[in-house]
Every structure is written in C-alpha cells, then in structure tokens.
Structure 1
Amino acid sequence: MNNKENIRTLSVDIGGSGVKAIVLDITGNPLTQRSRLETPQPPKPEVVINAIKTLASTQGEFDRVSVGFPGVVRNGVTETAVNLDPGWIGFDLATVLSNRLSKPVRVINDADMQGLGAIQGLGVELVITLGTGFGSALFVDGKLVPNLEMGHHPFRKGETYEEQLGRAALERVGDNKWNRRLLKAIATLQRLFNYDSLYIGGGEATRIKSQLPTNVKIIPNITGLLGGIALWRD
C-alpha cells in the first residue's frame, strides 16, 4: 500500500436504482469523476458485485474500498435488503468483495455513509435519504447510532415512512402531495428526535419544492460517496 498520505479509497454507493463509484484522497476529496451503472435486475449479490467490479475498473488505482449498502450491515454482513433481493440476507459482502477486488473492504449502511459525509459532529444530527426507499441515520456529537432503519417504522395512515415517501409513493401521488407528506414527516421527526440539524439527501431530494425549516438542509447526492473516507478513520 502507498504511504499514508497517498492512500486512495474507492467509495461505492449501492442503491435501488443505481450503483455509483468514485475514488477519494486521504482527506475525502474526489480524485476521479463519479461513475454510475443502473442497478442490475434482479439485484442479486453476484450481479451487483460484477457491476461494482466494472465501475472499479473505470476508476484507476485504489488501495481500499468503502461501500454504502441499503440495509442493516453488521461486521460487513448485509442483514436486510428490502429494496434489493432476499439473496443479500446474511451475505458477507465485505469478504466476498475484498476477494474479488483484492483490496480491504468496509461496508456500512448507505444512509450512515451519507451522514458521515454531511454531519458537523455537533449535537443531535439526523440524516434521511429519499430514493427508491427511505434511509435514515442518527448521530450524537458525531457518533453514529447504528441500525436505525427508521424507514420501516409506522408514520401515518397505517403506512411506514418508506411506503409514504419512497419513490413508488412519489410516482403514485405526485410532487405536491409528496412534498406535503415530507413536511409532516419533518415535523414528526423533530418532535421525536429533537434534532439540532436534519440533512436530506438521496436522488429524490431534488423533488423537494417546500420551504424547509432553518435547521433542515438538502445535501447533494454525491455526499453518499464522500462519506466513504470516514469508514477508515480508526
């Protein structure tokens, strides 16, 4: 491996609709252009890993790999994958991908990785991601509260946050109604977590048209990749 200052991290974001990759320097700044492939269908582990390998081959040299995955991750093993395929349940993604790329790999929930790229490390900070599903991450003074998976908690009308605010709901009810639901969710989450800051990311954050409270900030989609450097801060 290179000396520490020259270590390059391949950061990968696995989503329900796209798999993205970029190479970061030791401080987390991009060294390459982001590349993206449509998430293969059906999104079983083997075909998604092949997509990552293809993306990696376009990104030049790297020394290690960070992966954001849409589900609960424990010690590199994916435990849930609501928006991918049941084949991911109990799948040791870190080990399998490390063997395929011949590099050390660390895996974390995708919203957690997005949060690591966004937070200031002050007080209670909540991150939600609006994409195929509804991701969430909670940080207290910069420390992650693991495995929140709030998207599958009840929200309103007998439905979860994901059922009310995921991509399928957005396409079904349209921008205006979805934006009204989002404002209700923000108000509910403020009461629930009493957060100091809320960050909203994900591919559908561009559809937000509402006036947001002053402690709520929209973050760019690339934040999900930029957070990859934090997985190696030991």
Structure 2
Amino acid sequence: MAADILAIDIGGTSIKTAVLDSQGKLLSKRLRVPTPHPCPPDLLVSLVTDLVQDLPAFERISIGFPGVIRKGRILTAANLQSEKWFGYDLAQALSARLGGCPARILNDADMIGLALIAGQGIELVVTLGTGFGSALFRNGDLMPHMELAHHPVADNRTYDQYLGDAELKRIGKLHWNDRIGHALGLLNTLFHPDHILLSGGNARNIDVALPPNAQIMPDAIGIAGGAALWREDNQLSELFSG
C-alpha cells in the first residue's frame, strides 16, 4: 500500500527535507536549514524534528547521510565533526522522535543517485558540495559503497580535500575546474562508466569541457531518491532486512 515518505538529505552545508509519494514526486515544498558545526546526533535529530513540523503528514522516513552505513549504523561522519556519530542508529532515533514511523538510512550520494540514474549500464554519480560524494550503479543496481572522498587523488590530497567547497573558495573557479577535468579523467580510467552524473550544490560551478559521457544534473531532484528506499522490488531491500 502506498504511503507518503519523509525524505531527509543531510549534508555538510545544509539539511534538506521534503515529503514524497512512492514514486518520488514532491508532495511538499523542500525545506532547508544550515548544518551546524559541529553537529552531534542529538542536535541533528532536534533540528530535523523542528523542521518537519511545517510539512504534511508522512508514514515512512528515508535518510541520506554523508558517511558509511552498515546495518543501519553510522561508521563515518567526517563532515559533521562529531565522534558521537560512530555506531549511532539515526534511523531508530528519528523514528522514535517522529511518531514511530519506520525509517531507513543510506549514504547520501547513494540516495541521490537513485533519483538521477537511468538504470542502464555503468552509471557513476558524483556529488559536489561540502565534500565529494560518489555512488556507482550497474543496470540500476547499487554497487557496494566506496568512500572515494577519502582516497588520495593528487599530491596526497583526497577527493574531499582536492574538490571540496573549502578548496573551491581557496583556489577559485578557474583552478577548481582544472581539477574537475583531471578528476573526471581519473574516474573514467578507473570505472569506464557509460555515464557520469554530476550533482550537488557546486556542480553549478562547473564550466570545464566535460567528457562525452558526463553531464550536470539538477541538484533539486536528488532528494526524490528517498522513495527508492521503500520500493518492494528494489535490490536495496536486502540492506534494510533484519
């Protein structure tokens, strides 16, 4: 039976929420608040609880979180600057605060990617915001999550350090775009993807010539990936069982 979904996209710059139908169509305005730093779990749960008071009713919750998730628990949360996240069950905490609605959590780039992909071939989703996010899909199936953000890309700097928002502000658009071109070349060599989908708040700053298989996607539609976490026929369902 269809039930409306509260989608929550947690980023290092902002926390966004909206209510979706089961197909990912927006049923409400998309609300946003700045992400505080540091942002420990109790503070984030309170912020989300306050934010959703202005949204219509929902029966399920989907959470995109900027870190590694295993069996519903958070293993990394670099951009939120609090060690209290390690091992934290955010889905359970938000479910308890928001009326007992069932909740599911996935890496934020993985969730955004579910809204962007066409479901054909090898598709690499890259999110450019506070940091660097990535998600890899094969014929619509989500591959195991890799934290490319923390992998060295140049001069012993990680993708986060090389292409994150702080570095864009430090070196300016021109040099940052040179780095985007370099990184896309490396990603094509590593994955040979059929498509590279570029999203996130800083994708709008890209003005370098893109390889033929890359395109910039609208940032606003990414939150719609929250609906995919509840599709009965979705390959992701095994991540949330048990």
TM-score for both structures, normalised by structure 2: 0.93
Q: Please, which of 224, 227, 234 is the counterpart of residue 225 of structure 2?
A: 227
**8 Å CA contact retained: 1:125, 1:139:** yes
Q: Deviations over 1:116-171 (max 9, x none)?
A: 01011111110111111110101111111122111111111111111100011111
The CA deviation at 1:55 is 1.7
Query: Are the equivalent residues in 1 in contact too, given 2:122–2:194 (CA < 8 A)?
Result: yes
Equivalent of 2:38 in 42, 64, 77: 42
CA distance in 1, matches of 2:44, 2:10: 8
Distance 2:86 2:159 in 1: 22
Q: Partner letter of residue 70 of structure 1?
A: P
2:104 corresponds to which letter in structure 1? R
Partners of 1:56 and 1:211 in 2: CA distance: 40
Find the aligned partners of 1:217 and 1:202 in 2 and give their Cα distance: 12
User: Deviation of residue 217 (structure 1)?
Assistant: 1.3
**Counterpart residue number, 1:129:** 127
* Residue of structure 1 in register with 2:72 after alignment: 76
Counterpart in 1 of 2:88?
91
The 3-state SS of whatever aligns with 1:67 is strand
Structure 1, 142-151 or 66-75: larger mean CA deviation: 142-151
Which runs of 5 or more structure 2 residues have no equivalent in the other structure?
A: 233-242
Cα deviation, 1:17-68, whole Å, max 9, x if unaligned, reads 1000011112110011100011123211111111111121111100100000
Per mean C-alpha deviation after superposition, the further-off stretch among 110-119 and 204-213 is: 204-213
Deviation of the 1:76 alpha carbon: 1.6
RMSD of aligned Cα (Å): 1.0
Note if 1:140 corresponds to 2:127: no
The percent identity for this pair of structures is 46
C-alpha contact 2:136 2:145 (8 A) present in aligned 1: no
Runs (4+) of structure 1 exceeding 4 A deviation are none
Between the aligned partners of 2:93 and 2:155, the Cα distance in structure 1 is 41
Unaligned runs of 5+ in 1: none
Contact 2:124–2:136 (Cα < 8 Å) also in 1: yes
* Worse-matched range after superposition: 103-112 or 219-228: 219-228
**In 1, are the aligned partners of 2:19 and 2:55 still within 8 Å (CA)?**
yes
Asked if residue 120 in structure 1 is aligned to residue 110 in structure 2, the reply is: no
Of 31, 55, 62, the residue aligned with 2:58 is 62
Alpha-carbon contact 1:110-1:224 (below 8 Å) kept: no
Structure 1 counterpart of 2:142, one-letter code? L
Name the structure 1 match of 2:197: 199
Confirm or deny: 8 A CA contact 1:68 1:224 kept in the other structure: no
Which residues in structure 2 correspond to 1:208-227 (within 5 Å)?
208-227=206-225
Q: Among residues 175, 181, 184, which one is paired with 2:182 in the alignment? A: 184
SS at match of 1:22: strand
2:25 corresponds to which of 26, 29, 41: 29
Deviation at 1:214, TM superposition (A): 2.3
Correspondent of 1:110 among 102, 108, 112? 108
Kept after mapping to 2: 8 A contact 1:8/1:62: yes
Amino acid at match of 1:10: L
Partner Cα distance (1:87, 1:222) in 2: 30
Task: Tell me, in whole angstroms, the C-alpha distance in 2 between the residues paired with 1:223 and 1:198.
Answer: 16
Give, in whole Å, the separation in 2 of the partners of 1:216 and 1:113. Answer: 19
Secondary structure at the counterpart of residue 169 of structure 1: helix
- Report the AA paired with residue 153 of structure 2: F
